[in-house]
């Protein structure tokens, strides 16, 4: 029996749960590369800049594809786009498992980013179609938090790579990706869930860019993603540096992966709490406050390498919680302020800018490491994490221009 509902009905709890579960499983391959980045660097003799490309190319693929794919939801059912993209995601995991060098790996990881572009925001649009107010904000918060759960579980799937080889981890991710196709087929609303009565030109972003609140939220989202790339993409390499000779002990390698997964998973409570605080106290106040705290916690994190290793582990978890506090509230905000007839184009451009920041931030982090002496140098880590802190300050500079009453149009 299908879980899918008519396009005019608000999604039921089982439908929301099923699509969130599909999102989690669909991200099985997302964090395998960051989790095993030291292994790829050693096996393929990569520089830190090349490692930055490998870790960030998923975001680059997403950046290139998200605008046309999400904008299509203004004229075609989001269900169709999601199903095709979920099949592509499974294929990208299988292809990555067959790679023997950097160049083909970059191609399949870029393909994974393209697939994500057709799943993440189209799935959100399908779930929030016809839903308004704080209910929509909470659905969006749970959906965006499911992204974080999937990314963190993917980090733990990297442990398969340490035991059976990284190819086995991607093979498992491909199997889970195939399951996503079946779940989405059964659960996603059927019909014209994404269509507007008067669809707009596919790549006409002038009405989107004319909305000052949308622009501020886009800059904020880019800053939020850029600000956490050090702790989400490079944390395994950093903790390996801090652990020194202990990093070669199997138990320590497992602890490092677990900490990386915990940091990613903390995006769930951080995002949900940040969203609820924004509804209660105002998005401008909470988002700006979180950015300032993130600039301190994430931007100065490189200095923790001078502390005892156990302190580094604890502070990495605390910093990981802080820097992820603005994901859900900013996304809920852009859904609130976007004009309904341009909503697909708005969230497409919003996602594109965000993932572009993820790619550029991850790449710049690796370039900075190389320019300041590599992963064995404390100064290189300090400067690299400072780039994330500067991004957070830019986010605070954008969100402070949001109006006080951005949520007043929402019935609580």
Note whether residue 6 is domain-resident: no
The number of beta carbons lying within 10 Å of the beta carbon of residue 100 is 10
Q: Are 63 and 100 in contact (CB under 8 A)?
A: no
Share of the chain above pLDDT 70, in %: 90
Q: Are 331 and 346 in contact (CB under 8 A)?
A: no
pLDDT at position 202 over 70: no
Distant-in-sequence, close-in-space partners of 65: CB < 8 Å, separation ≥ 6: 113, 114, 117, 118
Q: How far is CA 254 from CA 112, 163, 263, in A?
A: 26, 10, 14
Distant-in-sequence, close-in-space partners of 117: CB < 8 Å, separation ≥ 6: 61, 62, 64, 65, 66, 69, 70, 85, 351, 355
Note whether residue 8 is domain-resident: no
Of 391, 345, 405, the residue nearest 73 (C-alpha): 345
Amino acid 98: pLDDT: 93
Note whether residue 7 is domain-resident: no
Q: pLDDT band for 201, please (50, 70, 90 cuts).
A: low
Note whether residue 1 is domain-resident: no
Number of structural domains in the chain: 1
Note whether residue 410 is domain-resident: no
- Burial class of residue 319, CB neighbours in 10 A (0-12, 13-18, 19+): buried
Note whether residue 408 is domain-resident: no
CATH of the domain at 133: 1.20.1250.20
Q: Are 237 and 37 in contact (CB under 8 A)?
A: yes
Q: pLDDT band for 290, please (50, 70, 90 cuts).
A: very high
Which residues span the domain enclosing 17? 13-189+197-399
Amino acid 389: pLDDT: 96
Distant-in-sequence, close-in-space partners of 228: CB < 8 Å, separation ≥ 6: 294, 298, 320, 323, 324, 388
218-243 confidence digits (pLDDT tens): 999 999 999 999 898 899 899 999 98
Q: How far apart are CA 224 and CA 325, in angstroms?
A: 9
Q: How far apart are CA 221 and CA 131, in angstroms?
A: 23
Average pLDDT score over the chain? 86
Q: Which CB contacts under 8 angstroms, 24+ apart, belong to 284-288?
A: 284/399, 284/400, 284/402, 284/403, 284/404, 284/406, 286/329, 287/220, 287/326, 287/329, 287/330, 287/333, 287/395, 287/399, 287/402, 288/396, 288/399, 288/400
pLDDT at position 207 over 90: no
pTM for this one? 0.76
359-409 confidence digits (pLDDT tens): 899 999 999 999 999 999 999 999 999 999 999 999 999 999 998 767 554
Note whether residue 208 is domain-resident: yes
Q: How far apart are CA 145 and CA 151, in angstroms?
A: 10
Note whether residue 19 is domain-resident: yes
Amino acid 6: pLDDT: 42
């Amino acid at each position: 029996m299908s879980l899918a509902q008519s396009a005019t009905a608000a999604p039921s709890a089982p439908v929301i749960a099923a699509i969130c579960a599909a999102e989690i499983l669909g991200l099985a391959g997302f964090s395998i590369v960051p989790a095993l980045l030291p292994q790829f660097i050693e096996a393929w003799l990569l520089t830190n800049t090349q490692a930055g490309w490998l870790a960030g190319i998923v975001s680059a693929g997403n950046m290139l594809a998200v605008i046309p794919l999400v904008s299509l939801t203004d004229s075609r059912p989001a269900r169709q786009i999601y199903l095709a993209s979920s099949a592509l995601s499974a294929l990208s995991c299988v292809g990555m498992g067959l790679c023997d060098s950097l160049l083909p790996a970059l191609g399949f990881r870029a393909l994974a980013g393209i697939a994500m572009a057709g799943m993440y925001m189209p799935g959100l649009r399908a779930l929030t179609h016809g839903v308004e107010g704080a209910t929509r904000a909470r659905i969006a918060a749970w959906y965006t938090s499911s992204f974080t759960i999937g990314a963190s579980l993917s980090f733990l799937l990297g442990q398969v790579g340490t035991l059976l080889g990284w190819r086995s981890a991607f093979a498992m991710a491909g199997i889970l990706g195939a399951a996503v196709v079946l779940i989405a087929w059964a659960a996603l609303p059927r019909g014209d869930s994404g269509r507007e009565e008067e669809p707009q030109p596919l790549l006409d972003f002038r009405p989107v860019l004319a909305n000052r609140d949308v622009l501020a939220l886009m800059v904020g989202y880019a800053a939020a993603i850029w600000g956490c790339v050090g702790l989400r993409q490079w944390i395994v390499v950093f903790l390996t540096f801090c652990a020194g000779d202990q990093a070669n002990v199997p138990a320590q390698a497992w602890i490092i992966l677990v900490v990386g997964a915990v940091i990613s998973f903390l995006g769930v409570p951080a995002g949900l709490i940040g969203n609820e605080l924004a509804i209660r106290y105002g998005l401008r106040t909470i988002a700006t406050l979180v950015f300032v705290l993130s600039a301190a916690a994430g931007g100065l994190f490189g200095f923790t390498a001078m502390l005892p290793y156990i302190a580094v582990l604890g502070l990495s978890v605390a910093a990981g919680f802080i820097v992820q506090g603005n994901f859900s509230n900013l996304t809920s905000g852009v859904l609130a302020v976007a004009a309904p007839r341009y909503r697909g184009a708005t969230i497409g451009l919003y996602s594109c800018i965000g993932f572009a920041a993820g790619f550029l931030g991850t790449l710049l982090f690796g370039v900075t490491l190389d320019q300041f002496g590599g992963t064995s140098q404390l100064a290189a880590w300090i400067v690299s994490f400072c780039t994330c802190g500067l991004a957070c300050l830019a986010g605070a500079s954008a969100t402070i221009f949001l109006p006080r009453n951005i949520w007043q149009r929402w019935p609580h």
